[in-house]
């Protein structure tokens, strides 16, 4: 695929991501996604022959990788789990505020809608969350947690953060994220 094809594919993914995060999976139709991306309609099925679900899966995977990249970058800098938690909270809170609390986490948005009805997209969401949990667990293990404790604490931290993103969006306030950050720091402080 040439540079123009890659650019068109990237625009489709960006358009899908923007819409599903703000409007959800069911609130984002194929025509809206194509219009948002500015790509020709035929290019959607050229790049994503399986249609909307394949495109949404690509958008979720990309969104998940961005958080993974942040976590990996922080780990490479040698930051501990507490600093990583603070940074992740800032990223989510700043993103929510910039979007007027319309855009929280595209993974959570889609997962809440389709986990019980769309197995392929549920699996993509699950894989993203598992990768985030694994990276958090690695930082906790580096800080002295046993592997089992690290995995459990990372899951708890992730649940707190994702729940806080939802509450922050609904309340139009970053306060739930600040509270979740405090809870996570308390959780890991016993070992950190």
Q: How far apart are CA 49 and CA 92, in angstroms?
A: 32
Task: Give the residue extent of every domain in the chain.
Answer: 53-189
Residue 106 confidence (pLDDT): 87
| pLDDT mean for each 10 residues of the chain (192 residues) | 83 94 92 92 91 96 94 91 89 92 90 94 97 95 95 95 94 95 88 40
* Structural domain 53-189, CATH architecture: Orthogonal Bundle (1.10)
pLDDT computed for residue 183 by the predictor: 95
Burial label for 51, CB within 10 Å (0-12, 13-18, 19+), is exposed
Query: Which conformational region is residue 146 in: left (phi greater than 0), alpha (psi within -120 to 50 degrees), or beta?
Result: beta
């Amino acid at each position: 695929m040439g540079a123009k094809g890659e650019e068109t594919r990237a625009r489709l993914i960006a358009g899908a991501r923007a819409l599903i995060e703000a409007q959800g999976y069911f609130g984002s139709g194929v025509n809206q996604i194509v219009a948002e991306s500015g790509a020709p309609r035929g290019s959607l099925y050229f790049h994503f022959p399986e249609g909307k679900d394949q495109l949404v899966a690509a958008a979720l995977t990309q969104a998940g990788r961005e958080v993974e990249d942040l976590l990996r970058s922080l780990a490479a800098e040698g930051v501990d789990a507490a600093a990583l938690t603070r940074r992740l909270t800032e990223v989510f809170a700043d993103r929510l505020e910039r979007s007027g609390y319309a855009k929280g986490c595209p993974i959570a948005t889609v997962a809440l809608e389709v986990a019980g009805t769309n197995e392929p997209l549920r699996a993509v969401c699950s894989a993203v969350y598992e990768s985030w949990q694994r990276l958090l667990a690695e930082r906790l293990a580096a800080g002295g947690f046993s592997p089992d404790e690290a995995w459990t604490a990372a899951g708890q931290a992730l649940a707190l953060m994702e729940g806080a993103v939802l509450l922050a969006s609904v309340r139009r306030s970053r306060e739930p994220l600040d509270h979740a950050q405090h809870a996570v720091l308390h959780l890991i402080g016993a070992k950190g």
